[in-house]
């Protein structure tokens, strides 16, 4: 077997770097920088955009969303620049999502990966990424459930792949990402079914159970 060449190492290093970048808890970092409560101790006790928005305000929420989405996007974009091999690109794009879900810096207890996954998909295929964001915004505007909008968006991901003529490899990637998002939202699904899921803008003090997104 021929030894790995420098170009062969780039995707491997980017995958590892993608996981580490994905592990950066922007919700926690932003909250500390703004003097807001640690999101792990209030509200849903989650580091994601929705909880930070509820407990720390719009500025903290927007910065958290930008950071979480940005870390996914930059890794997805770098994957496109680094390798022509589609499977490598897709594998690299999954890494920041896994980093956000299981961050090494927080003992593998992370968020639910919605913003990071949207960013990663947008980095490797902007039209599909924009489609995800559009579906999330439309669904959130109509029903005002952040988790419901996330589930609607990612359940549509495989179909967006089909509509844009993506390969079988992308469809497998889409199913994996959709599965990860769905599993992390299983509690939200139960609350949506029971009608107890809090809506966007609803005070976290009314809901002390974990509804993280």
- Residue 209 is predicted with a pLDDT of 41
**Cα distances (Å, whole numbers) of residue 165 to 132, 134, 155, 158, 171:** 16, 19, 17, 11, 10
Q: How many domains does the chain have?
A: 1
Q: Residue 49 falls within a domain, yes or no?
A: yes
- Residue 195 is predicted with a pLDDT of 86
What range defines the domain where residue 92 resides? 8-204
- Residue 203 is predicted with a pLDDT of 56
Interatomic CA distance for residues 93 and 74, integer angstroms? 9
- Residue 205 is predicted with a pLDDT of 47
Q: Average pLDDT for consecutive 10-residue bins of the chain (213 residues)?
A: 61 96 96 92 85 89 96 97 94 98 94 96 97 96 91 97 96 97 92 85 48 39
Q: Residue 73 falls within a domain, yes or no?
A: yes
Token pair belonging to 126: 């902007």
Q: Residue 109 falls within a domain, yes or no?
A: yes
Non-local (6+) Cβ contacts of 212 within 8 A are: 44, 45, 46, 48, 50, 51, 111, 112
- Residue 44 is predicted with a pLDDT of 77
- Residue 45 is predicted with a pLDDT of 83
**Cα distances (Å, whole numbers) of residue 99 to 4, 17, 65, 77:** 26, 10, 16, 17
Kindly report the pTM of this predicted structure.
Answer: 0.90
Q: Residue 192 falls within a domain, yes or no?
A: yes
Q: Residue 176 falls within a domain, yes or no?
A: yes
Q: Residue 20 falls within a domain, yes or no?
A: yes
Q: Residue 57 falls within a domain, yes or no?
A: yes
Q: Residue 55 falls within a domain, yes or no?
A: yes
């Amino acid at each position: 077997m021929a030894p790995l060449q420098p170009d062969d190492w780039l995707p491997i290093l980017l995958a590892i770097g993608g996981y580490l970048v994905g592990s950066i808890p922007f919700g926690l970092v932003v909250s500390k920088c703004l003097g807001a409560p640690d999101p792990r101790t209030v509200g849903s006790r989650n580091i994601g955009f929705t909880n930070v928005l509820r407990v720390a305000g719009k500025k903290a929420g927007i910065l958290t969303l930008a950071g979480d989405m940005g870390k996914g996007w930059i890794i997805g974009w770098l994957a496109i620049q680094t390798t022509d091999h589609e499977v490598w690109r897709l594998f690299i794009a999954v890494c920041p999502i896994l980093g956000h879900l299981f961050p090494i810096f927080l003992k593998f207890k992370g968020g639910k990966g919605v913003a990071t996954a949207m960013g990663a998909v947008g980095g490797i295929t902007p039209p599909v990424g924009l489609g995800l964001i559009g579906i999330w915004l439309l669904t959130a505007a109509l029903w005002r459930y952040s988790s419901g909008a996330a589930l609607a968006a990612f359940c549509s991901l495989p179909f967006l792949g089909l509509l844009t003529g993506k390969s079988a490899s992308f469809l497998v990637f889409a199913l994996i990402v959709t599965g990860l998002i769905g599993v992390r939202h299983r509690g939200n699904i139960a609350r949506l079914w029971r009608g107890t899921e809090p809506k966007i803008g609803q005070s976290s003090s009314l809901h002390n159970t974990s509804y993280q997104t």
